[in-house]
Amino acid sequence: MPDRSTERDTRSTADVVFDQLYEEIASLHLLPGTKISEAEVARRFGVSRQPIRDAFRRLGDLNLLNIRPQRATVVRRFSMQEIENARFLRLAVELEVIEAACAIWDQTCTDMLRENIDAQKAALAQHDTATFHDLDYEFHLLICQASGKPLAFDTIQSCKRSVDRLCVLSMSHDEERDRVLADHLELLDALSAHDVPRARALLRHHVSRIDKVISEIHHAHSDYFQ
């Protein structure tokens, strides 16, 4: 009979390794194209290779690692096609969410989103990019929850993850973070006014910001792309 406590420990270890490697890849501490091996990571964490293998598999499922049998595993380079597909899917879903949110938006929703925006402002004042990035995720999650479509955020989050590493590069500039915050404030105003056309237009503009970022990064770091 298997030792279930050992199974729990193994899963817990795999989660720790996954979270740490995800953060290092998303933050570009591990750059696209970087080779990474199970043996090296196992030595680093002081664990067996099984939880490392599990973490690698999960990162591969997120298209963050390119796992090649009998060859070195590498941090995946950006794929323009995958980025474009993710952007298309995210926009299609979030436009529906915004429209649904406008129909039922109330003062409680406004207060909830205002609190998030105030926290964004505080993060910007402290030049805390990581916290601002997390609050950006929360902003979109709160709109999904307020719209009565919380599961829609699973799709939005998956799509956002495909460009997280690009966002890290763009969010390193104060001007870009300021523009994102300004977009969020305008979206809140449109939602509070139940203005569906304006909210949809603002969301399209907000999501399209990544297009310029992708173009600039592709020009400056073509080796990051497939």
Q: Determine how many CB atoms are found less than 10 A away from the CB of residue 118.
A: 11
The pLDDT value given to residue 11: 58
The pLDDT value given to residue 130: 85
Q: List Cα–Cα distances, 32 to 42, 76, 82, 101, in angstroms.
A: 21, 5, 15, 37
Q: Which fold has domain 4-75?
A: Arc Repressor Mutant, subunit A (1.10.10)
Give me the residue spans of the domains in the chain: 4-75, 80-224
Contact 44, 6 (CB under 8 A): no
The pLDDT value given to residue 71: 84
pLDDT per residue over 9-37, tens digit each? 445 799 999 999 998 998 889 999 999 99
Which segments in the chain show pLDDT lower than 50?
Answer: 1-10
Pick among 1.20.120.530, 1.10.3720.10, 3.90.550.40, 1.10.540.10: CATH of 80-224? 1.20.120.530
CA 106, chain centre distance (Å):
28
Q: Determine how many CB atoms are found less than 10 A away from the CB of residue 70.
A: 4
